A and B are shown apart, each in its own frame.
Chain A
Amino acid sequence: MIGREGVAALLQRALSYSEAGQTQVLMISGESALTRLAENVIHQNVAETESRLTVKAVFGKKVGTASGNDLSDEGLMRTVTRACEVARLSREDKQFVSLPSPSPEGYPGVVSFSERTAGFVAAPGERARAAAVLAGAAGGAGFRAAGSISAQAGEIGVANSLGVMAYAPHSRVEASTVFMSDDSAGYAGDTAVDLADVSFEDLAEVALDKCRRSREAVTAPPGDYEVILEPDALGAMLLFLVRVGFHHILYRQGGSFLSRKLGKRVLGDNITIWDDGTDPRGLPMPFDFEGTPKRRLTLFENGVFRNMVYDSYTGGEAGRQSTGHAIPFAGIGAMPANAFLQPGRASLEDMIGSTRRGLLVTRFHYTNLVHPRRVVITGMTRDGTFLVEDGRVKGPVRNMRFTQSALEAMRDVEMVGAASTVRRLGMANLPAVKIRRFAFTGATEY
C-alpha cells in the first residue's frame, strides 16, 4: 500500500506534467489473488500486483485519454504526454462542459477496506484452507466441488486540475462454488469487503443442500410459469434492466425504456430501487471514478422512475450535476453500481406456498440481451431449478431456457422477499421475488 500521502503526491506530480486546460488523473493500485478449484482440487492459483494511472486531458473541448502502468517519473510523464497528444489531435466535443469541481460537503465516511482481507490476499495457505473447506464438504458427500476464492486489496486515488483530490483504500473478497454430482449441481456464492463476512462453511452447506436436492431431475415442458427467482437469478436479470435502462446513449437516443419517462411509472408499484455507494451492506466507496462523492439516490420509487444517474460528461450534456456514478470505462456514461431493492415481507416459504405451478430458480447462466427497448433477455437456469406445484417444491427439473422481458417481469412481481442476501458489484443487497408469469422457451433432456 502506498498510503494517502504517497498517492496524493503521485497524483499531483502527474498533474504537474500536464499542459492541458483541464486534467484528471486516476490511480488504481493493488494486489489481488485468486484460488480456483475443480474436481475437489486446486488447479489454478494466481496473484497479481499492478498500479495503473489513467489521465484525461482537455484542451478547450478536445478530450483525450491515456493510461499506463509504469508509475516511475518517466512513466507518469509519458502517460500524461500521450493523453495531451491525443487530446490535441482530437476534434471538439461540443457536449463536453467540464471536469467536476471539488464537492463542498466532502466525502462520506465509509469502510471500504479490511486489513483481514488484505492479509488473505497475501496468504495463499489461508486461501487453500478455505478451498479445502469446500472440497472437503463436497468430497465427503461424494460430490465434486468447483469454484473460486478471490481477494483484492489496494487504493484508488483521483485528482484533477480543478482541485478534486480523493483517496480511499479498498478491499474485496469473493467466493463462489458449484457442487456437482453426475446428475445435479448446487451453487453458493458471496462477496464482501471484509473476509469475516464470508463463511466458507455456510457456502459449502448451501451448495451441498442444493446439489442433494437437485438429483434425479426431470424435464419440464417449456411455457409460461409462475417463477420464484432467488437473489442471484434476480440480480442477473436486474443487471440488464439497469445497464440498458441507464445506458446514457440509449437514454439520450430514445432507445431506453427510461427515455422520456422521468416521473412516470415504469415498474410495478411494489418495486423501489435506490443506489447507495455508501451503504455498508453493499461494496461501499466514498467517491466515484471522477472523485465525486457517493450518496443515496432513488432510482425507482414504487415503480416510478425518479432519477437518472450522471457523471460529469453526461451531466454536462444534460444540464445536470454529476450524481457520483462515473465508471472507469469510456463510452457508455454513468452507471449505478450499488443498487438496492426495497425488501418486502414474504419469506421463501410464503412464495412457494402461494404458487400453484411454478419454477424456483437458483441462478441464470449466460444471460444476454435480445431486444433493448423491452429489455428482452434470454439465458439458461443452472445449479438448482425446482418445480413448485400446489404450494410445495415437487422436485428438481433440468435446466431451462427463458426468453423474457425483464421490464415486464418487474411489472409483474407478486411478492418481494424480506431477506436480502446478494452482494456483487452493480447489484448490492437483493431479496428473492415471485413473478406471476415468466416465459420459459426451451427445455433440456440432459
Chain B
Amino acid sequence: MEELSLLPALDVAMKAGAAYADIRQVNRVDESVSVRQGAVRSITSTTRQGFGVRVLAGGAWGFASSSRMDPAEVLRVARQAVAIARASGSVAGRPATLAPVEPATETYRTPYRVDPFEVKLEDKISMLLEAERLVTSQRPFWRVATRLFGEAYLGWSRESKRFLSSEGADIEQEITECGGGISAGAGTLREIQQRSHPNAHRGHYATAGWEFAETLGLVDNAARVGREALALLGAKPCPSGTKTLILDSTQLALQIHESCGHPVELDRVLGSEASYAGTSFLTPEKRGTFRYGSGAVNLTADATIPGGLGTFGFDDEGVPAQRTELVSQGIFRNYLTSRDTAPLAGDGASNGAARATGYDRIPIVRMTNINLEPGDWTLEKMIRDTKDGILMETNKSWSIDDHRLNFQFATEVGWEIKDGSLGAMVKNPNYTGITPEFWGGCDAVAGKDEWRLWGTPNCGKGQPAQVAHVGHGCAPARFRGVRVGVGR
C-alpha cells in the first residue's frame, strides 16, 4: 500500500474542533474472469485507492474522502469533513456519543496457502473453459427447440487498509477473498430455467486463497448442473398450497440474510434506513422477550470464524471481531451494533459490526457472518420424517418488505417429498411467509456435518450505496406450514 502520512488529518480535524476523528486508507484490487459460449467474455482488473476522514464535531458526523493520494489533499479532506459535520449539526438531534473501545495497535491478515494473485491467469481460464464446456455438453433430450447455455466465473480480491483514530488506534488489515461458480441456462421459446453450483448469483466466495477455489468443484459438477437445467424444462410446476418446506443451506443462507441479518441491524431499527431499505420489526422493547422462532432456532453473528466473507480482525471503527448471540432458543437477544448506535440500545460497547465497503464510504452497521447454529438432525432424516413437503434448493429471487416481515423467495429447483421419500423434481418453486411465523415453524435443523459457511458478496444497503460481502453459516432446516407455489 502506498505510504501516505495520515496523522496530520487527525491533527487538523481535532484542531478544527472535532471531538473525535478517524482516517482509513484503503487499497483494493479486484480481478475476475468469466467465460460463456466457449470464450472469455470478461476479464477485468480494478484497482481503487484512497482515504476517508470521519469526524464527530458538535455532536454531529461529517465524512469526506478522496482518491488523490497527496499530503495536501489529506488536509483538505480533513477540513471538509469538519465543515460537513458542522452543517450536520444545524439539523441535529441528541449529540452522538461513542461507546468506548480500547485503541488497538495491531495487524490482521487473512490466512491463505496459495495467493490467488499468483495463480496463472491461463490456468484459471482453462479451468473455467473446461467447466463451461461440460455444462453445455449435455444434450437436450426431449424437445428439439431446447437450448443450453453455460457460464463460469472466478473472482479474487485483496483489500489492504490502515485505520487511525484520534483515540490512538493504528490498525492494519489485509483481507483476501476468492471464489467462483458455474451456471447453466436452459430455454425454449416459452421458458428459461437455470441451475448453479455451488451457489447462485456468481457462486460462492470466502476470505481465503486459491486453495478455496480448488474446493468448489466447478469442473466436477458442471455436467450435473447442465443436466438439471435441462431436466427443469420437463419438470412439473411446483404445487400450490401449505406444506412442509425443507431448505438446503444455500437458500437458507439467504433466508437468514433477509429475515434475520437485516432486521437485527440496530441503525435500521433506529430509522437510519427508513426512506431507502426500510426499518425493522425487531423494535427495542422486543429485546430479550420476543419469540423470533422456535426453540430450534439459534442465530449468531460471528466475525471470528475462519473463511467467512464477514471475517476480519477489526471492524472499520477499530472494534475487535467478536461473536454475538442474536437469537437464542428462539428468543431475540441482541442487535448488530456500531460505536454510535450501541449506547442508544443501552449497550456498553459495540459488538464490532460497523463496516465500510471502500475508502469512500462511512462504516455503517453491517452483517458479519450471521449463522444458524447446527442442530442434531440430518437432511436424510428430515426427508424420512416428512409426509408431504417440498425440498427447495438454490436461490433464484428474493423480496422482503420494509419491516423485514413479509417475504417471498423463489429457488432454482425443488423436489416433492411424499411419505418420507424424495419424489419428482418441480420447477419454479417459491414460498412466502411472515418472518416470526416462518421461523416459529422451524422444527428441525441439520447438524455440523451438513453445516456450511456461505459467502454472500452482494448485500446492498446505505446511501450512497454500499455492497458488502457477508457470510452465512447454516445446515438444511425444516419449516412447517409454509405457503408454497405462489402467484400463478
Contacts and interface: CB of A to CB of B under 8 A. Distances in A.
Contacts of A95: 39
Nearest to A178: B275
A124 B189 contact: no
Interface in A63-94: 63-70, 78-79, 82-83, 86-87, 89-94
A32 B44 contact: no
Interface string A107-138: 00000000000000000110111011001000
Given A42-B92, A250-B192, A442-B406, A146 B274 contact: yes
A344 interface: no
A372 interface: yes
A328 to B, nearest CB: 12
A150 B463 contact: yes
Contact of A89 (B49, B121, B278): B121
Given A65-B43, A124-B87, A70 B463 contact: no
Nearest to B85: A45
B344 to A, nearest CB: 11
Interface stretch (A15-23, A155-163, A360-368, A409-417): A360-368
Contact of B48 (A39, A68, A404, A444): A68
Contact of A48 (B65, B83, B271): B65
Interface residues of B, number: 84
A148 B487 contact: no
Contact of B93 (A40, A50, A146, A371): A40
Interface stretch (B171-179, B323-331, B395-403): B395-403
A399 B403 CA distance: 10
B66 A48 contact: yes
Interface string B417-454: 00000000000101010000000000000000000000
Nearest to A128: B87
Interface in A432-446: 439, 441-442, 444, 446
Contacts of B93: 39-41
Find the residue from B85, B90, B147 having the highest chain A CB count within 10 A. Answer: B90
Given A49-B68, A70-B47, A331-B34, A135 B91 contact: yes
Interface string A25-65: 00000001111111111111111111110000000000111
A38 B271 contact: yes
B428 A371 contact: yes
Contacts of A404: 487
Interface residues of A, number: 92
Contact of B270 (A36, A38, A82): A38
Interface stretch (A251-259, A264-272, A273-281, A284-292): A251-259
Interface stretch (B14-22, B56-64, B369-377): B56-64
A245 B88 CA distance: 43
Contact of B64 (A47, A148, A370): A47
Given A89-B125, A90-B43, A380 B399 contact: yes
B227 to A, nearest CB: 18
B306 interface: no
A187 B402 CA distance: 13
Contact of A50 (B50, B61, B125): B50
B166 to A, nearest CB: 19
A401 B85 contact: no
Contacts of A260: 189
A24 interface: no
A37 B91 contact: yes
B486 interface: yes
B142 interface: no
A367 B399 contact: yes
A315 interface: no
Nearest to B483: A442
Given A41-B92, A373-B190, A379-B399, A253 B149 contact: yes
Nearest to A50: B67
A69 B48 contact: yes
Contacts of B400: 366, 380
A364 to B, nearest CB: 10
B91 A41 contact: yes
B191 interface: yes
B464 interface: yes
Find the residue from B62, B87, B93, B276 having the highest chain A CB count within 10 A. Answer: B87
A46 B64 CA distance: 6
A330 to B, nearest CB: 5
B404 to A, nearest CB: 10
B464 A38 contact: no
Contacts of A444: 401, 405-406
B103 interface: no
A49 B273 CA distance: 24
Top-6 shortest CB links A-B: A403-B487, A124-B87, A146-B274, A146-B275, A41-B93, A255-B192
Interface of A: 32-52, 63-70, 78-79, 82-83, 86-87, 89-95, 124-125, 127-129, 131-132, 135, 144, 146-148, 150, 176-178, 180, 187, 249-250, 253-255, 259-260, 330-331, 365-373, 376, 378-380, 382, 399, 401, 403-404, 439, 441-442, 444, 446
19 contacts: A32-B464, A37-B275, A38-B275, A44-B272, A45-B61, A47-B81, A49-B68, A50-B65, A50-B360, A51-B67, A67-B47, A90-B125, A128-B88, A146-B271, A147-B275, A148-B275, A380-B400, A401-B399, A441-B432
